[in-house]
Amino acid sequence: MPLNRGLSEDQILLRETVRKFAEEEIHHKSKELDEKEEFSYELTKGMSDLGLLGALIPEQYGGSALDYLSYIIAVEEVSRIDGSQGATVAAHNSLGTGPLIQFGNQEQKDKYLPKLAEGNLWGFGLTEPEAGSDAGNTQTTAVKDGDDWIINGSKIFITNSATDITIGSTVLAKTGESSDGKSELSCFIVENDAKGFTQNSMHGKMMWRGSNTGELHFEDVRVHKSAMLGKQGDGFKQMLATLDKGRLSIAAMGLGLAQGALDYTVKYSMERKTFGKPIGTYQANSFKMADVEMGLELSRNYLYDVCRMAEEGLKITKEGAIAKLYCSELAHTSANHCVQILGGYGLMKEYDAEKYYRDQKLLEIGEGTSEIQRIVISRALGLFE
């Protein structure tokens, strides 16, 4: 298969295994979960049993220790069938376990990583009501009190943060001001059962209705100094480093959704006939699908190459932004063409097209909007200070 060019036998086997699970276990449940706006513990356990929740966790903690490309392939295949389940896997690994693996000390890793590898979830507390792309405007505070820090504030739109199997979140908080007057930001590990810490699931979402999204509230939440992740004042750098790699998982979700929408469109267009011919044979339709196929080839090759760069420890700030931007906008194009070619049927919940259309939108917003990605790329060209 063209999409397996340059992959190892293990990576090809992983793709086949995850694809089989997604098609046989996720697909027939995804519409009901979407309709009910319900998080599936059963599917999450199934993905955990495949090793997907411990994808990036080292073997010594019970994880799968996948290389980054293998992990991205897994996210791609789950997202090809359902963005909600793809979001659960992507957020848990890139944003949940990622900072603990990269910045946690030995005691923190020993305490949390085995639990996360076995199927518990972890949140990434960055976004606030008044601080999304502008993370430097974080209003959540942490004030030193002896050997403790007292946290007050709130977070919003935090994936995986408010389920019964979520055991904690990494939280960005303002711990002071630097010499230039900017906020000093630090990251803290906050367990879900900490006194004064509450998590509420958010409902009424347009997309990813089968994933968990939470609001986090901190009211005099006291954590020991040992709960700080890394050094005081390193929070902003830690979050940026996390997002660099996290954007690759969003790119993988975009790639998977674009592929799923195209597969669905091709199948439908060769079954649906007008004027005695399959509608896929009309140039107006076939050219749309040809454009998406071209985009899939280009985006897959590029994303996989950036994953190899990440595995080698190379800086990928620009490349991650390009991959995330291109794949998310390709998902938009593919889903839009899917609805257009299905016509009126594309607007009906009975068909998968409208769900692809809804689910793709967050990919242009989450982990840095398309506009922010263009700023990152422009900055790499020397166009911003």
The catalytic residues are 367
What gap in Å lies between CA 307 and CA 68, rounded to an integer? 6
CA distances from 8 to 47, 248, 357 (A): 22, 20, 33
116: number of Cβ within 10 Å: 26
CA 29 to CA 184: how far, in whole Å?
45
Q: Is 38 helix (H, G, I), strand (E, B) or coil?
A: coil
Distance CA 182, CA 201 (A): 32
Q: Are 198 and 73 in contact (CB under 8 A)?
A: no
In order, the DSSP letters of 253-310 are HHHHHHHHHHHHHHHHHHH-EETTEEGGGSHHHHHHHHHHHHHHHHHHHHHHHHHHHH
